[in-house]
């Protein structure tokens, strides 16, 4: 059986190994070596990207993707996917040969079909696997091995400044040799589709897989840490046998309440899964190396593969420099990692307090001179002068924090030294007015520390696992590790 890929062919199926389609006359031996054997994508669900086929090169089966959109930006992104996949050399990623990308012209058509041939991964996906197991959860040892394998694959992808955006059990293949592979690199497809919708003035829809897609991605603001969220949700499914949407979320923190359904796993593994799928991307691991380090701590016998080592996996000392707090429900309160961000905030506070103190000292000196002058010469204007200097100090302090925290650096000099930044709840730069509101609330609590109100702000920061203070909660901001 041979299949014609001409989109206008009325009868694409051909019997035998014909060179040209007997219906439309288009060549069926693509690029001189690929024979299309069957259509894989659903013809009843057309994609903004194109069509997927199975092809044969000799006796080897491969996957063929066809781009139907000829807009220059669509073609550019499709070529980008081809270039990225051809540069990724990992057994868990479909291989694309250097000549895997080519252009095909059907008979009597001036419209090119941009084509991409890649390795076909044999096996079954993890959703099919768990269904075959009658939804019996996997063991912890298997979960740790699989988590390490998938993190190594993501490490390879993220090193190329690329991320998957659609990690879920159906897109993870369990090969006959027991190794995992990540498939369906549809990022370029979805970006292309989104771009074309914008051009046409249509409502833009993101890449959404219910239960696996993080909040920021639903808002069209996916980041590399979005892959970690989906990875964590995937393991919730594998460790419980239930789809993530089966579980409710904590109304206060947004965390998924899944642990009671995961039997026989250690608190440390559960903590790591929760860390991966933290609602706010700044509270997830910032890099794949950090996840690999956590996995090594779970089971020191599982070593990172040579492939990741060759891609500049840092040593333990380097990993600890970028670690973000990982705290689960059963982690110790005074775990050293638990307080890394808190200690950074204290350091930043001390540095900023010193800088602000110099500013206040200067104006206090001016106030003292003015006090002596007005007290001796003009008693009536003394309160006005003192109020004026006090206002200058207050405005100066507010501007110091607001201008720095709403700048491109997202940090005051103290926070910059401590390597932390201020973001909104979506992980983005805050506006000047939100920064003003944040510092006003902070000044209020600091000013009333003597009454105990400021201590409430301090202790909320100390005991919350995301290290958000009371003024951060009211301002809807977060302080996170700098990427």
Give me the count of residues in the chain. 483
Tokens of residue 271, six digits: 């903590």
Q: How far is CA 26 from the centre of its chain?
A: 43
How far apart are the C-alpha atoms of 268 and 335, rounded to whole Å?
Answer: 12
Q: pLDDT above 90 covers what percent of the chain?
A: 33
What does the alpha-carbon distance between residue 234 and residue 170 come to, in Å, rounded to a whole number?
A: 10
H or E segment and range at residue 8 = none
| Separation between Cα atoms, residue 224 and residue 309, nearest integer Å | 20
Q: How far apart are CA 107 and CA 62, in angstroms?
A: 24
pLDDT tens string 285-332: 989 999 999 999 887 555 455 445 444 443 333 333 333 333 333 333
**DSSP category for residue 49:** S
Q: In which element (H, E) is residue 371 found? A: helix 340-377
Structural domains of the chain, ranges and CATH numbers in brackets: 2-119 (3.30.200.20), 134-331 (1.10.510.10), 340-481 (no CATH)
- pLDDT recorded at residue 108: 86
Q: pLDDT tens, 32-54?
A: 899 999 998 876 655 556 788 99
Confidence of residue 172 (pLDDT cuts 50, 70, 90): very high
- Alpha-carbon distance of 312 to 290, in angstroms, equals 13
Give the closest residue to 234 by CA, choosing from 165, 282, 172, 299.
Answer: 172
Q: Which of 327, 259, 322, 243 is nearest to 290 (CA)?
A: 322
CA distance 342 to 348: 10
The span from the CA of 295 to the CA of 146, in Å, is 11
Say if residues 436 and 443 touch (Cβ distance below 8 Å): no
What's the pLDDT band for 422 if we cut at 50, 70, 90? confident
Angstrom distance (rounded) from CA 93 to CA 86: 10
DSSP state of 378: -
Q: 3 CB contacts (<8 Å, ≥6 apart)?
A: 12, 13, 14, 28, 36, 37, 38, 39, 53
Question: Over 70: is that where the pLDDT of 457 sits?
Answer: no
Tokens for 106?
């059907």
| Contact (Cβ atoms closer than 8 angstroms) between residue 274 and residue 232 | yes
Where is pLDDT greater, at 18 or 446?
18
Beta bridge partners of 332: none
Diameter of the chain measured on Cα atoms: 110
Q: Is the pLDDT of residue 448 over 90?
A: no
- In the numeric block, the tokens 């100390």 are attached to 462
In this prediction, residue 140 carries a pLDDT of 93
CA angle 234–282–249, rounded 5-degree value: 50
What does pTM read for this prediction?
0.58
Nearest to 78 by CA among 197, 199, 192: 192
φ/ψ (deg, to 5) at 193: -65, -40
The pLDDT value recorded for residue 445 is 65
Please state, rounded to an integer, the average pLDDT across all residues of the chain: 78
Packing angle, helices 432-447 and 382-405, rounded to 10: 130
Look up residue 136 and give its DSSP letter: P
Residue 389: pLDDT band (50, 70, 90) is: low
Evaluate the CA torsion angle 353, 355, 361, 366 in order and state its sign: negative
Q: Is the pLDDT of residue 222 over 90?
A: no
């Amino acid at each position: 059986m041979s299949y014609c890929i001409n989109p206008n062919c009325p009868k694409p199926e051909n019997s035998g190994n014909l060179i040209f389609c007997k219906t439309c006359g288009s060549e069926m031996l693509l690029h001189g070596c690929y024979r299309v054997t069957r259509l894989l994508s659903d013809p009843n669900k057309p994609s903004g990207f194109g069509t997927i086929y199975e092809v044969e090169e000799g006796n080897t089966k491969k996957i063929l993707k066809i781009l139907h959109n000829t807009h220059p930006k669509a073609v550019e992104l499709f070529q980008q996917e081809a270039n990225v996949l051809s540069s990724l050399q990992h057994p868990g990623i479909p291989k694309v040969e250097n000549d895997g990308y080519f252009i095909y012209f059907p008979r009597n058509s001036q419209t090119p079909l941009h084509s991409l041939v890649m390795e076909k991964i044999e096996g079954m996906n993890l959703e099919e696997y768990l269904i075959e197991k009658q939804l019996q959860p996997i063991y912890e040892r298997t979960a740790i091995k699989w988590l390490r394998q998938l993190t190594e694959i993501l490490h390879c992808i993220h090193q190329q400044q690329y991320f998957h955006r659609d990690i879920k059990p159906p897109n993870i293949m369990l090969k006959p040799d027991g190794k995992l592979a990540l498939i369906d690199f549809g990022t370029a497809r979805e970006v292309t589709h989104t771009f074309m919708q914008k051009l046409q003035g249509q409502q833009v829809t993101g890449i959404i897989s219910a239960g696996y897609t993080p909040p920021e991605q639903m808002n069209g603001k996916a980041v590399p840490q979005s892959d970690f969220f989906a990875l964590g949700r995937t393991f919730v499914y594998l460790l419980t046998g239930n789809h993530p949407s089966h579980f409710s979320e904590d109304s206060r923190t947004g965390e998924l309440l899944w642990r009671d359904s995961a039997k026989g796993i250690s608190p440390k593994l559960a903590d790591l899964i929760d860390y991966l799928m933290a609602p706010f991307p700044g509270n997830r691991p910032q890099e794949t190396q950090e996840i690999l380090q956590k996995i090594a701590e779970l089971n020191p016998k599982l070593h990172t593969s040579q492939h990741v080592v060759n891609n500049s996996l840092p040593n333990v000392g380097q990993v600890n420099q970028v670690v973000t707090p990982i705290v689960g429900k059963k982690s110790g309160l005074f775990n050293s990692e638990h307080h890394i961000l808190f200690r950074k905030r204290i350091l930043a506070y001390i540095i900023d307090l010193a800088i602000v103190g110099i500013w206040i000292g200067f104006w206090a000196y001016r106030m003292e001179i003015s006090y002596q002058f007005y007290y001796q010469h003009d008693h009536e204007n003394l309160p006005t002068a003192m109020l004026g200097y006090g206002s200058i100090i207050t405005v100066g302090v507010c501007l110091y924090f607001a201008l720095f925290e709403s700048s491109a650096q997202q940090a005051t000099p103290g926070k910059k030294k401590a390597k932390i930044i201020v973001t909104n709840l979506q992980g983005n730069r805050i506006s000047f007015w939100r920064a003003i509101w944040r510092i006003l609330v902070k000044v209020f609590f600091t000013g009333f520390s003597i009454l105990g109100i400021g201590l409430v702000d301090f202790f909320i920061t100390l005991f919350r696992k995301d290290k958000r203070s009371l003024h951060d909660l009211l301002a809807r901001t977060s302080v996170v590790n700098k990427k």
